[in-house]
Amino acid sequence: MKDLTQHLVVDWKTEKTPEQLKIMKLYANTSRQLCLIYVAYVLSGVIIFFSLPLVPFILDVMWPLNQSRPVISPYPGYYFVDTREYFFKIFWHSIISWEIIFTAVVAHDCLLMTYVEHICSMFTMVGLDYESLFSNCDKAMEITNNYKEICRKKVVLLVHAHKEALRLVELLENTFSIPFAIQMLLAIIGMSVTLLQVRIRDKRKKKPFFMYKSLEDSFSFFFFSKITQQNDIIKSCRYTLYVVGQLIHLFWFSFEGQKLIDHSLQMSDKM
């Protein structure tokens, strides 16, 4: 990662033509926009996910019942205290701690996107130089007779730049392959467990009406089932947010990887 960052800094300090500088700025701006969108998406998603347990408290204020609605924990964890009494302390602790954790994950992901966009800009610059190679050589031929030597030097420089871009791709792959594989494995496991929980929850059958001993018991059941249904809706929303978030996460990296592959393959068309 240090080598990738150093190469990125050196590339920006190296003298470039106006066209090359324009390409680098274009991809840098794209990288910046993608990172800002990604950061806003992740941090807002975390806040929304952990804020859904506040819904029962809001409903207790707006539409109070004979008793308080059950408390939903911000996340599956046990603090060895009464959850209702210390809910807001647990809530703020979970928000702050998970934001810190996801900040590290987001920083890792944004670095990967920045490196990918920079390497794509290198491929684009080399491809542009390949496309304009012979037109530049024709202009040089009108001025000097050393036509072959000029073209040979330009080809050598382009081959060197192309090899450098491929070296960075290999370095990027070696650096991020294992962390990326771990993230994908955890994401797939998390989605599988979440969807399994949703499936199990959907299969739960309600107790038939005729099995209750009295009408009072049946009304009590429907009263509590209504509260349980509200909690199930909140939990289902959290499950949905998590699954959609993981799908977007997978798409984001797949998109960047495919973009890098496309830029590399387009080099053969431009040569």
Burial 32-62 (b: 16+ CB within 10 A, else e): eebbeebbeebeebbeebbebbebbbebeee
pLDDT tens figures, 25-67? 999 999 999 899 988 888 888 888 888 888 888 877 887 777 7
pLDDT tens figures, 178-231? 888 888 888 788 778 777 776 776 665 444 444 444 444 444 444 445 455 666
Report how far Cα 33 is from the mean position of its chain's Cα atoms: 13
Least confident of 63-72, 133-142, 190-199: 133-142
CA-wise closest residue to 92 among 49, 50, 42: 50
pLDDT tens figures, 86-125? 888 888 888 888 888 888 888 888 888 899 999 998 888 8
Instruction: Check: CB of residue 119 under 8 Å from CB of residue 165.
Output: yes
Instruction: Check: CB of residue 95 under 8 Å from CB of residue 50.
Output: yes
pTM for this predicted structure: 0.75
Count of all residues that appear for the chain in the document: 271
Comparing 64 with 21, the larger pLDDT belongs to 21
